Amino acid sequence: MHAESRQGGQVLVILLGALFLGAGVAAGSLATGMSLKDLDKGIKALDLGDTREDQARDVISRWEDLARPALKQRKRNVDAIVDLLGEQYAPEEKLRAAFDALQADADATVSGVLALRDELRAALGEGDWERLFADR
């Protein structure tokens, strides 16, 4: 993806709705500049041998497993916020609680992604990690 449009998408994602972080990171592109699909392709192209490739691709697979529900949860959280924003006199505590819920889910997702990064880092080693992210 062209860097400009990617960055634009990222900024939009970040700003959308509720100043969140998690789901975008879960989807990969915010943290790495690459989609999870592209990360998977990149790992295959590294020619790591069966065992290491399986390990690395398993991390990506679990990253996808993390992303899917995170995106669904984000939608539910943002729906709740938008509904409240539409009420002229929505109680402030309800509004803040809705934002807090969104952000708590996002933060939990980010923690999960950071743990997966550690696993991917261990599976690849420094040389292959740098080859995978050579264009970053």
Min dist CB 58 to other proteins, Å, is 19
Q: Give the separation between CA 13 and CA 19, rounded to whole angstroms.
A: 9
- Pick between residue 45 and residue 82 the one whose CB is nearest to other proteins: 82
Contacts of 55 (CB under 8 A, 6+ apart): 123
Show the site string, 56-95: x = touches other proteins by CB under 8 A, - = not.
---------------x------x--xx--xx-xx--x--x
DSSP string, 91-114: -HHHHHHHHHHHHHHHHHHHHHHH
Q: How many CB atoms lie within 10 A of CB 44?
A: 12
**Contacts with other proteins, residue ranges (CB under 8 A):** 4-5, 7-21, 23-24, 27, 29-33, 71, 78, 81-82, 85-86, 88-89, 92, 95-96, 99, 103, 107, 110, 114-115, 117-118, 121, 126, 129-130, 133, 136
